[in-house]
Chains A and B, each alone.
Chain A
């Protein structure tokens, strides 16, 4: 199959060999599990359990609420200790509502929903319902509720389900291992998802640095004529949704559109496996494979971890620290989030826990920019980081916005290559935060303005009505209001109702 080039990108030191040959192992059940109500993009789930309640494995303990949300399930059987605020696995270190579960050691399953006997005969709604019920989110790291993405088939005409097995972040090997060890489950899950989406074709994109995964997946896919495994070049950030779509189809997703507008929906390979579990066995998402790696970890490994397990326990399971890590990262080194401490839980979007040494991070105080242009060459989004950062340094965020800072998805290629070690992505994240705030503020003001206008109109109308009533009592006077004023008011009212 023809592969199309993508712009820019880098070839970082991948260091995947630390864990790529380590088969997935399950960690022992920790003494307590900390299950945040919000592990996903969207609204936090609504708690269904009370302190002291006994729950079984797979039992729903928090229900999704609102349009974008995901439910949470008990990762094992045990007793609910409490629901309280616990430090979130987020760089801010802010607390978040979390269910604390004390495992009873029995690991007993609850009564699970019946498997869907023949998912290919079931309608899309039944499958989506099951995926939503099972609390499945995108497992590549973004943790977007998967059921919503599976609903796209209703709104848009889709032709391809693209399964993302690129795993372009250095160190991470969890998707690689899942593909090698559970190929049939992934492909079954993918076919079920394709059925729900109504896409005739499934393409699985895997970076060439995972030859075993490519071979195993190709073999597993050979039974199905509409499933194809494609090797894509090793080029960070190949795993970015839009770039993977471009590499495989040659199509460039327009700004402010989704890949679904091109007829392509992208899901992670581990998500497909979770869908298989949910549909074929009724099992919700209660555990995930996490790559624990980095120079400071004594025994790097791929660990099947119950959701909510403290990172400290996971690190201990991997032999603890061989040396003091400079930084512990949730996710990959390029786009991961720094962890505020080890006392945070593993969540559904945790693909890796990396304990990195200072040598691995290779950070230095920033020097002056020498305008070498490397950042422009490597930017996969075609932006000019050197210029944007110069404006952001001067707090000229509007200019940075015009130069496209909001199109940056923080892949980190520019920071990686900068010979002056300028923290470019840090500047862009700052600018994006402030610009988002300003935009929200602007929308709020707009809304207030509209409401105020409507109020004025309402009062005017009331006065007019009074006047009309008065005029009706005194038939001699003239009370015709100008017609066009009424029209203008109608449009403003519409705006307010929209």
Chain B
């Protein structure tokens, strides 16, 4: 096959969008939530974040040079930076350094480059990284701590932080269960949701982020603001975020109505865990989600329903990563069944009958 590269067909005009710009805008949208969380969890979080992002960039550079692709030019597309960023946000903030590095290797080398690099991966790299870590190191991955804002009383200083991140010396009595984890544990002890939910942070605290959790789980409101910013910038459309949250909210609300002692409310599910991060930043990943709007609605609904199912019936308290990965696997087939209807043809591709009005 020979496509002449000397002279290209029209158009001889191009919009201003680029991959780099897109990724950069997503990073910008994540920045407020990230800064707030780094403040909330202090030096250990800053160290882990730096290590994870740095490791992702290093692994990307290594894979690119192994594959004989241009290293600097591809790194400049910011996609590895974004993956590292999202991976870091899905880790417990005081987790040891090797968790970030291992996650980076799984995310970039295994989930992304073994499939052929940017645009080729089936599964969301950051979520693959997180899931592998969660399954392999369940204790380290679920050791949540209550917020220790920078420079506050009892917050670790720089050197204590070194000990936490690199020495693995987690001080006692700082860990705490996440709200979702707490409810799940209490349910297994036959304590109904109606009672256990009293001990979880108030809804407003959950929303503003003063609670235990990974960096991307707290400060739902800043994540939401970032997501709305992305929509305003037309980087993402409303289809995936709304359908993810809609699917989760509707399922949770129905079952909460049926049995409030067993199932938490829809609102609780929306503000807890990584719902907002998942809906706006993870499920909307271009590469691993369907391309058509109808497909995106189906994909998002699937994610929402699966998140609810996993949170309530599976062994793990949080299900965003699993739900997104499962739906990632379905994205190609969803794409196949949700192609738009071609102009002048019906959905089967046959020409429309004459005299038929607009459908």
Contact = CB atoms under 8 A, between A and B. Distances in A.
Nearest to A411: B11
Interface in B11-63: 11-19, 21-22
Nearest to A407: B342
Given A386-B291, A425-B11, A370 B19 contact: yes
A362 B1 CA distance: 26
**Contact-residue size bin, chain B (C-beta under 8 Å from the other chain):** 35 or more
Contacts of B114: none
B9 interface: yes
Contacts of A381: 342-343
B201 interface: no
B32 to A, nearest CB: 24
A380 interface: yes
A379 B292 CA distance: 11
Contact of A242 (B296, B344, B349): B344
Name the prevailing secondary structure of the B interface residues.
loop
Given A404-B349, A407-B344, A426-B8, A10 B15 contact: yes
Contact of A419 (B22, B293, B353): B22
Interface in B71-108: 77, 79
Contacts of A170: 13
Across the A-B interface, give the 4 residue pairs with the lowest CB-CB distance, nearest first: A412-B11, A373-B291, A255-B344, A255-B351
B10 interface: yes
A371 B9 contact: no
Given A335-B11, A412-B10, 20 more contacts: A7-B343, A246-B358, A252-B344, A253-B344, A255-B351, A256-B344, A333-B10, A336-B10, A362-B14, A364-B18, A371-B119, A372-B22, A384-B335, A407-B342, A410-B9, A417-B15, A418-B17, A419-B17, A425-B9, A426-B9
A278 interface: no
A250 interface: yes
A255 B19 contact: no
Given A13-B13, A362-B16, A430-B3, A383 B340 contact: yes
B356 interface: yes
Interface residues of A, number: 73
29 contacts: A7-B343, A10-B15, A13-B13, A242-B343, A242-B344, A254-B344, A255-B352, A334-B11, A334-B12, A335-B10, A360-B12, A362-B14, A363-B12, A367-B77, A368-B117, A368-B118, A368-B119, A370-B79, A370-B287, A376-B292, A376-B340, A381-B343, A384-B340, A387-B339, A402-B349, A407-B343, A420-B19, A423-B8, A425-B11
Interface string B315-345: 0000000000000000000010001111111
Contact of A361 (B12, B119, B344, B351): B12
A337 B351 CA distance: 30
Interface in A346-405: 354, 356, 360-364, 367-374, 376-377, 379-384, 386-387, 395, 402-404
B15 to A, nearest CB: 5
B286 to A, nearest CB: 4
A401 to B, nearest CB: 11
Contacts of A335: 10-11
A257 interface: yes
A415 interface: yes
Contacts of A327: 12
A111 to B, nearest CB: 42
A344 B196 CA distance: 82
A377 B11 CA distance: 18
Give the residue among A242, A338, A367, A418 with the most B Cβ atoms within 10 A: A367
Given A334-B10, A426-B8, A387 B335 contact: yes
A367 B335 contact: no
